[in-house]
Structure 1
Amino acid sequence: MLFNSFEFLLYFPIVTALFFFLPHRFRWQLLLAASCFFYMFFKPEYILILAFTIVVDYYAGILIEEAKTAKQKKYYLLISLIANIGVLAVFKYYNFINENITGVASLFGWKNHIPALTMLLPIGLSFHTFQAMSYTLEISRGNYKAERHFGIYALYVMFYPQLVAGPIERPQNVLHQFHEKKSFDYSRVVDGLRMMLWGMFKKIVIADNLTTYTDGVYNNLHVQTSIAIVVAIFFFAFQIYCDFSAYTDIARGAARVMGYELVKNFNYPFRSRNVTDFWRRWHMSLTTWFNDYLFTPVVISNRGSIKFGIVFALMVTFSLSGLWHGAAWTYVGFGVMHGFATSYEFLTKKWRNRLSKKVNPFIYSRVSQVLTFLFVCYTWIFFRANTMADAFYVLKRIPGFFTEIANWSVTRTKPIFDGSLPKLGLIYCGVFILLLETLHYLDNKYDVFNKLRNQNIVLRWSVYYSLMIIMIFFASSTAHRFIYFQF
């Protein structure tokens, strides 16, 4: 198992106290040891996977920088990429590929004798693999010098606050910070702790309570009413946002306390006016990774029309992005739908711009936001469903929502939610979603989170204690693992 939210709260202050107690020259060793222990708490032997890729990429980076010819540089880069993608292929995609080979073979009456592998997926494998690949890719492009300090490079890959679920960093942003001497700064520490508190609130109070409901629906679809299913579709949107952004807040906050700045990963994604804008606001470190290392090279390599090249690159990028999330066709379907949506937006951009000038700007923006949110919720059905069959079953049940609402408004006798679903928790979820969106609106318009730091101590601590009291009384009875740990 891996640290849950409460165990992390015990681990983090111990490491941080030792960090400020030790002289600067020993701090990287402390953080590297803490990161190794943090990762080994899940499955100790899997540290060898990280060790393998770290050694390969460390020496590959130096060899790429010192290469005399472009051919040598590409050769060393290829070794690095094969090592990293190979680890992903074996641990994350081997069984998926093997199962599909078996399915295709059975169509022709053949048997697949390749055995399946029984093994756990290493925590956060996709995250630290992509971060490691960005290092050698940036060196090969001449954007960064190879890191000669092996321990510092290992820390870049393994830095424990963001090791298992990002954000996915670039060497330009993080590596130099591990060389810099960090001093205790009260205001910075408070900022970091405030960010962690908000992250904990989103995870423990909102995400985990929503998870109890959505799991109850998606794991027992055939006994649910259409109303319960539709509510679960919308609840999952806020669940995954609060869960994933909570981890990012905790990671960035923990790093900031010690003086390290990690990149921002979310920017009010539910305010997006189109799907392209959504991906500029959601999981931004992954979006920019795919844009820089996959989308742009595919577009540049295209020898046909520019429009075809961009559409082709969008479909390839989003299909692989979906597969990045998980070894299942449901994730591929999720990615393909976003590929079609962004392609449509690219091809119709001029027409939509003309339309926006003919409609009231406020109405156009609000309608665009609602339609974007509905589309994203629709695609997340495939993201959350256990199988493709379950996803299509959910889609089939959606029209029944309106019939059940109409019937219930007349008779009010048949229960609209399955008896196993917590009614009071359902109300809490609705209230907390409303609270979340209200705070997001106020922060986006008045920058309330930053202004809070300048308020008097009574107001500040009243807010902090209120959040902590709510966490104590309204925390989910079941602690759920962060969703993105499985990726």
Structure 2
Amino acid sequence: MLFNTFQYAIFLLIVFLLYWFPLKKSLKGQNVLLLVASYYFYSCWDWRFLFLLVFSTLLDYYSGIKIDRSEGKRAKKFWLVISIAINLSFLGLFKYYNFFADSFVTLLQSIGFKASYTTLNVILPVGISFYTFHGLSYVLDVYNQKIRPRTNFVDYSLFVSFFPLLVAGPIERATHLLPQVEKERSFDYSKAIDGLRQMLWGLFKKVVIADGCAEYANMIFNHSGDYNGSTLVLGAFFFTIQIYCDFSGYSDIALGTARLFGFELLRNFAFPYFSRDIAEFWRRWHISLSSWFRDYLYFPLGGSKGGLWMKIRNTFIIFLVSGFWHGANWTFVFWGALNAIYFLPLLLLNRNRNNLETVAQGKVFPTVRETWGICSTFLLAMFAWIFFRAESLSHAFSYIGTIFSGSLFKMPQVVPVKMFVLIFLFMIVEWFGREQQHALARFGTRWPSLVRYGAYYCIILLILAFFGKEQQFIYFQF
């Protein structure tokens, strides 16, 4: 069940009405309803993988209790290791087995050994990377005594499988979401309206911008040998816009949906393409994943407090693991390594925290220096996205080779003017909303009501105009 379908709209309406009317005064009833709705939502993808989700939930629920009740650090660590090992084993089996088997056999063949292997013909369970990380953060927090284990299985299960974030995040923390699950909630009209605005903007980003860009990005990347360098630059540009609008659009819909039920999820994007350097970009892109790796991997490894070698090692580890998390392909690993190379000079020169405030805060236009920073960071990100989108490393290098050839200076073979106009208008709205939680949070608040609601209706009409073939969200494959 996709967010960008009428099926989801009907599902959401039914759950919303049941949640706030017959169950308004029953916290237990509301949580049971949301859990059942979440399991139904997940089973719409493939009901067989619902058993894997329930098993993962039971494993971490039980492990948390055993960690808390065990006497001695060794016993606690035993249950922590059991939980982590089983979780990562399932993730590795479904997501990485074929990749490792293929890479190992290729290595053996390259040095003269004959080898063969059997691949697993299984579908990757949707959302497995996200709900696995939910459970891992919970048992790690229990082990580190940041949170007490929960004995209410319904509440814990809802934390793991809350349907707005189940299949593509944001990656929630037990310390943030569980207290909200356990607390009585009352309907807040202003938060619900803000949630609807955020959902509207998320749908616009997905249906109009992301899916519109996908048409040209796919055409150019899938037939890159047929196009000149300038056209391939446009392909990289369209994918750069596509992946942001696709993923942040999902996050906007997820956060907006959660607000309808009285929950505040972790923010996942903070206008990353207005960043002035790569360090700022990574503080604003996929925030829940970046902060997860920071807290549960980077800091335990020593962070940036050690010597030069430790800083370099930890930076590469965090980016390589982040790349590998995205998929079982060397293109993702290379993408992670490239971002580590981008980031490392800023870290070593202590400039990685230079830009903590929103760019041009309180101003209409950025300075020349800020403009240069935004443009150069965007181009670096766009270059790295080529590896993320390419089918293989050879495809990526061939694609880049064509860009840096004489054909770069020829006229593009694809010039979708309508798409450029839509992207420009989209960026204008994002720019003026960059200091808020989402672009429409304060959109048109100073305008007459007729004008403001007219703008909303225009956005709705654009969504309906582009509403057609259902396009999955990119991050469902991760």
Same fold (TM over 0.5): yes
Distance 1:350 1:188, change over 3 A: closer
Matches within 5 A, 1:136-147: 136-147=139-150
1:344 aligns to 2:348 (yes or no): no
* Contact 2:270–2:434 (8 Å) recurs in 1: no
Distance 1:403 1:213, change over 3 A: closer
Q: Out of 481, 484, 487, which is 2:475 matched to? A: 484
* Contact 2:267–2:287 (8 Å) recurs in 1: yes
Structure 1 residue identity aligned to 2:315: L
Partner of 2:206: 203
* Contact 1:101–1:112 (8 Å) recurs in 2: no
Task: Please list the CA deviations of residues 270-327 of structure 1 after superposition, one character each: whole Å capped at 9, or x if unmatched.
Answer: 111111111000000000000001111112699xx52211110010110010000000
Task: Please list the CA deviations of residues 353-410 of structure 1 after superposition, one character each: whole Å capped at 9, or x if unmatched.
Answer: 8xxxxxxx933322222211111101100000111111011110112366543xx5xx
Structure 2 residue identity aligned to 1:486: Q
Partner of 1:466: 458
* Contact 1:209–1:476 (8 Å) recurs in 2: no
* Contact 1:227–1:401 (8 Å) recurs in 2: no
Question: C-alpha distance in 2, partners of 1:107/1:267?
Answer: 45
1:397 aligns to 2:398 (yes or no): no
Question: C-alpha distance in 2, partners of 1:50/1:446?
Answer: 35
Question: C-alpha distance in 2, partners of 1:301/1:440?
Answer: 33
Q: Out of 275, 280, 284, which is 2:278 matched to? A: 275
Distance 1:445 1:3, change over 3 A: closer
Q: CA deviation at 1:2?
A: 5.4
Partner of 1:316: 317
Q: CA deviation at 1:225?
A: 2.2
Of the structure 1 ranges 257-266 and 8-17, higher mean CA displacement relative to structure 2 is found in 8-17
* Contact 2:68–2:76 (8 Å) recurs in 1: yes
Of the structure 1 ranges 448-457 and 148-157, higher mean CA displacement relative to structure 2 is found in 448-457
Question: C-alpha distance in 2, partners of 1:451/1:277?
Answer: 24
Question: C-alpha distance in 1, partners of 2:436/2:298?
Answer: 36
* Contact 1:5–1:200 (8 Å) recurs in 2: no
Partner of 1:451: 442
Q: Out of 231, 237, 240, which is 1:237 matched to? A: 240
Identity %: 36
Q: Out of 435, 442, 445, which is 2:432 matched to? A: 442
Q: Out of 69, 72, 97, which is 2:72 matched to? A: 69
1:377 aligns to 2:369 (yes or no): no
How many pairs does the alignment contain? 462
* Contact 1:208–1:478 (8 Å) recurs in 2: no
* Contact 1:2–1:42 (8 Å) recurs in 2: no
Structure 2 residue identity aligned to 1:12: L
Question: C-alpha distance in 1, partners of 2:434/2:239?
Answer: 23
Task: Please list the CA deviations of residues 177-204 of structure 1 after superposition, one character each: whole Å capped at 9, or x if unmatched.
Answer: 1122222222222111111111011100
Question: C-alpha distance in 2, partners of 1:301/1:242?
Answer: 32
Question: C-alpha distance in 2, partners of 1:350/1:255?
Answer: 36
Question: C-alpha distance in 2, partners of 1:33/1:283?
Answer: 28
Question: C-alpha distance in 2, partners of 1:52/1:11?
Answer: 25
Partner of 1:358: none
* Contact 2:204–2:459 (8 Å) recurs in 1: yes
Q: Out of 431, 436, 440, which is 2:421 matched to? A: 431
* Contact 2:170–2:265 (8 Å) recurs in 1: yes
Partner of 1:334: 335
Q: Out of 357, 367, 381, which is 2:372 matched to? A: 367
Question: C-alpha distance in 1, partners of 2:36/2:86?
Answer: 24
Distance 1:398 1:292, change over 3 A: same
* Contact 2:198–2:253 (8 Å) recurs in 1: yes
Structure 1 residue identity aligned to 2:429: L
* Contact 1:255–1:262 (8 Å) recurs in 2: yes
Q: CA deviation at 1:478?
A: 3.3
Task: Please list the CA deviations of residues 89-138 of structure 1 after superposition, one character each: whole Å capped at 9, or x if unmatched.
Answer: 00000000010111012123334344110011011111111111111111
Question: C-alpha distance in 2, partners of 1:400/1:137?
Answer: 50
1:31 aligns to 2:34 (yes or no): yes
Question: C-alpha distance in 1, partners of 2:407/2:223?
Answer: 21
* Contact 1:230–1:401 (8 Å) recurs in 2: no
Give SS of 2:328's match: coil
Structure 2 residue identity aligned to 1:103: T
Task: Please list the CA deviations of residues 237-276 of structure 1 after superposition, one character each: whole Å capped at 9, or x if unmatched.
Answer: 1111100000000000001011011011111101111111
Question: C-alpha distance in 1, partners of 2:436/2:161?
Answer: 37
Partner of 2:175: 172
The answer for unaligned runs of 5 or more in structure 2 is 355-365
* Contact 1:2–1:41 (8 Å) recurs in 2: no
Of the structure 1 ranges 138-147 and 20-29, higher mean CA displacement relative to structure 2 is found in 20-29
Question: C-alpha distance in 1, partners of 2:400/2:100?
Answer: 27
Structure 2 residue identity aligned to 1:77: L
Question: C-alpha distance in 1, partners of 2:435/2:34?
Answer: 38
Partner of 1:158: 161
Give SS of 1:431's match: helix
Distance 1:266 1:445, change over 3 A: closer
Task: Please list the CA deviations of residues 215-248 of structure 1 after superposition, one character each: whole Å capped at 9, or x if unmatched.
Answer: 1111111112222211011111111110000000
Matches within 5 A, 1:248-259: 248-259=251-262
Q: CA deviation at 1:477?
A: 4.3
Question: C-alpha distance in 1, partners of 2:331/2:146?
Answer: 36
* Contact 2:214–2:242 (8 Å) recurs in 1: yes
Question: C-alpha distance in 1, partners of 2:142/2:22?
Answer: 32
TM-score (norm 2): 0.92
* Contact 2:172–2:288 (8 Å) recurs in 1: yes
* Contact 2:80–2:143 (8 Å) recurs in 1: yes
Partner of 1:412: none
Q: Out of 196, 220, 225, which is 1:222 matched to? A: 225
Structure 1 residue identity aligned to 2:19: F
Structure 2 residue identity aligned to 1:441: W
Q: CA deviation at 1:352?
A: 12
* Contact 2:280–2:353 (8 Å) recurs in 1: no
Q: CA deviation at 1:458?
A: 2.6
Partner of 1:413: none
